[in-house]
Amino acid sequence: MILVSLLAMFAACSRNDSHVDFPSRSAETAFRAKYPGASSVEWESAGVFQKVEFVLNSTDYEAWYSVSGVWLQTEYALAYTDVPLAVREYITNNINYPIESWKPQRSAEVLERLNYPLWYEVELKNGNEEVSIWADAEAYGHYTVTEDLDRDELPRSINNFLASKYTNSWVTEGVELSDGSYVVNLLDGNEVKQVHFNPLSEWTYTGWPVSVADLPAAVQIVLGGEAYKDYSVKSVEFQQYPNEGYYHIILENTSLPGSRTIWVNIDSQGNIH
């Protein structure tokens, strides 16, 4: 699946009539409300989080919840022909992996995360070689993944960093990209975050989505200024770097042909970086 759970799990447990420590009542209630038609339900404990595997519409799913019942992430498969057109066009026109040699597999994976747009993983094969393309529905954001990594396979310095900075987090995905850098997806409290490392395994930044309504007043003032009067906010991610942090804001001008897209970085005091 799209980068399956990366840590060895605690013993699995199916929900039955006997008392069990998980799923928590809050997590199970939230799960049943979100997926009322789920069958073959099995729960697992994952640190302070809870993972549930189930079948819905003849498709295997994995979903993650906090103990308090906050849905955090879901993964499932779909046919490649059902992947958004923009993603398929990006793959077809990818000069690094020409479609004549690199063939997309028949099924792809979908990654749903709290407050994130949908992302898709498509595996390409050329003989015995393979890579995966990660992309959002418009292929605006995309990665080329050369290797999926279990947490035990991540560089030791990355594991040490995660253990010290995100004490009660849980890694769900880890990958090495084509440029040698690393991206780690993790659950942290009631948030889903992406942690980025350079090819030397040094932390570069951590990002997580932010709603427009939650932007600081100083940032909203900048966005409401003359420079951006023709633009609307497409997405916002807070990016925390070792010595600074700011809001990475993608803006779209839908009044122009081609929907011109730009981005700007603004800190909480309204300074543009």
Q: What is the pTM of this model?
A: 0.87
What element of type H or E holds 90? helix 85-92
Asked whether residue 44 is assigned to any structural domain, the reply reads yes
Q: Residue 258: its pLDDT value, please? A: 64
Asked whether residue 175 is assigned to any structural domain, the reply reads yes
Question: Do 33 and 53 share a structural domain?
Answer: yes
Q: Is the pLDDT of residue 5 over 50?
A: no
| 228 secondary structure, DSSP code | G
Which domain covers residue 163, as residue numbers?
A: 149-209
Question: Do 217 and 204 share a structural domain?
Answer: no
Q: What is the mean pLDDT of residues 146-167?
A: 93
CB 72 within 8 A of CB 43: no
End residue of a domain, out of 167, 182, 209: 209
Mean pLDDT of the chain: 90
Question: Do 56 and 16 share a structural domain?
Answer: yes
Please state the φ and ψ torsions of residue 29, each to the nearest 5 degrees.
-60, -45
Question: Do 106 and 94 share a structural domain?
Answer: yes
Q: Residue 15: its pLDDT value, please? A: 40
Q: What is the mean pLDDT of residues 53-68?
A: 96
Question: Do 50 and 34 share a structural domain?
Answer: yes
Asked whether residue 271 is assigned to any structural domain, the reply reads no
Q: Residue 2: its pLDDT value, please? A: 44
Q: Residue 257: its pLDDT value, please? A: 64
Asked whether residue 1 is assigned to any structural domain, the reply reads no
The count of structural domains within the chain is: 4
**Confidence tier at 20 by pLDDT (50, 70, 90):** very low
**Confidence tier at 9 by pLDDT (50, 70, 90):** very low
Place of tokens 């990006």: 90
Asked whether residue 4 is assigned to any structural domain, the reply reads no
Q: Is the pLDDT of residue 93 over 90?
A: yes
Query: Is cis: bond before 23, omega within 30 of 0?
Result: yes
Q: What is the mean pLDDT of residues 179-203?
A: 97
Asked whether residue 90 is assigned to any structural domain, the reply reads yes
Q: Residue 6: its pLDDT value, please? A: 36
Q: Residue 260: its pLDDT value, please? A: 80
Please state the φ and ψ torsions of residue 206, each to the nearest 5 degrees.
-120, 135
Q: Is the pLDDT of residue 105 over 50?
A: yes
Instruction: List the one residue out of 168, 172, 177 whose CA is nearest residue 196.
Output: 177
Question: Do 119 and 106 share a structural domain?
Answer: yes
End residue of a domain, out of 147, 175, 194: 147
